[in-house]
Amino acid sequence: MEIKEHIHCLIIGSGPAGYTAAIYAARAGLNPVLYQGIQPGGQLTITTEVENYPGYADGVQGPEMMVHFEKQAARMGTDIRYGIVTKVDFSASPYKVEVDEEFWLSADAVIISTGASAKWLGIESEQRLNGHGVSACAVCDGFFFRGKEVAIVGAGDTACEEALYLSKICSKVHMIVRKGEDGMRASKVMQARVKSTPNIDVYWNSETDEILGDNKVSGVRIKNNQTGILTEIPVSAFFVAIGHQPNSDIFKGWLEMDETGYIKTVPGTSKTSVEGVFAAGDVQDKVYRQAVTAAGSGCMAALDAERYLGALAH
C-alpha cells in the first residue's frame, strides 16, 4: 500500500473526547491531525440544550458547544480535517489508516474517539421529534421535563436506571417493555426497584406504535402485543433506552473489545491492547456516557500518547 502522509499523532473522531485530546496534544507539541468522521461534533450535535457541562452558567446548545471545542482545538494548532477513517492496520508501528476508502496514512500514535450511536426504534415520528421531546439520554434531558409525565422504552438495566432517575423529577413515568415480565433483560434488583416505585407504570408486552405531536411530543400510542389494543398516553417527553452501539466496527480484529463492541482499555488509562493506540469517550465507556466524562478521557488519551511518543523518541 502507498502511504500518502505520515502523522505523529492521529485522532479519529470529533466529539468532546476527540477535541479535548486534540487540545492537549497540540499544546504538548504533538502536531495532532484530527479526522472528524461521519458526524463532526458527535452526538452533541443532535442535542438541544446542555445544562450540565461545567463553565456554561446559562446552559448552551449542543451544536454551539461543539463549535467552541473545535475552535479551541484549531487555535491550539490541531489540523482538523473532514474525512472518515474506513480501515486500519495496527499490525506494526507506525500504524496505518485508510481515509474515505481513497488513501492511506501512517501514524506513530493513534487516539480513537469515534463515540457510540444510540439505537433507535426506527419510526418516522421518533426522528421527526428528536430534540423536541424525543431523547436517548434521560440523564441529559430529563431535567427539562421535571414535574411532567414522560414515557421511556427499554427493558435493560440502563432503561431501569433511567426510569428511576426520571421518577425522582417527573410526576409519572410510563415504561414500555416489549416482552412480558419473564422476558425483561434487566437484573432482578433493578426490576424490583422499578416495580416498587409508585410513580412508574410498566406496560408489559407493549410496543411503541407512534409518538404523537406536531412540533413537540404530546403523547405516545402503544400497542399491546397480545391483544392488539392501541392505547394513547399523554406525555411531554419520550426517552429511548434500548442501548447504544459503539462505533468500533473498523477496529474489530485489531483491538480487544467486550462482547458488545466497546474497546477495552487498561483501567485508569486510555491504553488499548495495542501499544501506541489509545481510546477515549463513548467508544470505550458504556457506563457514564456524558460529555464531561468523554472530555476527561480525551485528556487522559492525549497525556498517555504524549508519554508513549516521548519514550519512543529516546
Domains of the chain, CATH where assigned: 3-117+244-313 (3.50.50.60), 120-240 (3.50.50.60)
Cell of 27: 499544546
Active site residue 137: yes
The CA angle 80-86-92, to the nearest 5 degrees, is 90
221-256: pLDDT as tens digits = 999 999 999 999 999 999 999 988 999 999 999 999
Residue linked to cell 511518543: 309
The model carries a pTM of: 0.83
| Residue 209, helix vs strand vs coil | strand
Contacts of 307 (CB under 8 A, 6+ apart): none
| Residue 69, helix vs strand vs coil | helix
Active site residue 141: yes
CB neighbours of residue 99 within 10 Å: 20
What's the pLDDT at 73? Answer: 98
Which candidate in 9, 108, 141, 170 is catalytic? 141
CA atoms within 13 A on the CB side of 34: 32
Cell of 185: 433483560
What's the pLDDT at 181? Answer: 84
Q: How confident is the model at residue 50 (pLDDT cuts 50, 70, 90)?
A: confident
Contacts of 253 (CB under 8 A, 6+ apart): none
What's the pLDDT at 26? Answer: 98
Residue 221's beta-bridge partner residues? 210, 232
Active site residue 9: no
Nearest CA to 33 among 56, 53, 54, 4? 4
Q: Is a pLDDT exceeding 80 seen at residue 45? A: no
250-306: pLDDT as tens digits = 999 999 999 999 999 999 999 999 999 999 999 999 888 899 999 999 999 999 999
What's the pLDDT at 187? Answer: 87
| Residue 4, helix vs strand vs coil | strand
Least confidently predicted of 5-19, 141-155, 175-189: 175-189
The whole-angstrom separation of Cα 4 and Cα 81 is 15
**Do 87 and 98 meet the contact criterion of CB atoms below 8 Å apart?**
yes
- Going from the C-alpha of 4 to that of each of 32, 97, 218, the distances in angstroms are 16, 10, 53
The whole-angstrom separation of Cα 91 and Cα 43 is 30
Which candidate in 79, 100, 108, 137 is catalytic? 137
What is the residue-averaged pLDDT of the chain?
A: 94
What's the pLDDT at 284? Answer: 97
The whole-angstrom separation of Cα 109 and Cα 301 is 10
The whole-angstrom separation of Cα 71 and Cα 188 is 46
The whole-angstrom separation of Cα 173 and Cα 55 is 31
Task: Please report, rounded to a whole number, the percentage of residues in the chain having pLDDT higher than 90.
Answer: 84
**Do 156 and 243 meet the contact criterion of CB atoms below 8 Å apart?**
yes
Over residues 37-54, the mean pLDDT reads 82
**Do 10 and 109 meet the contact criterion of CB atoms below 8 Å apart?**
yes
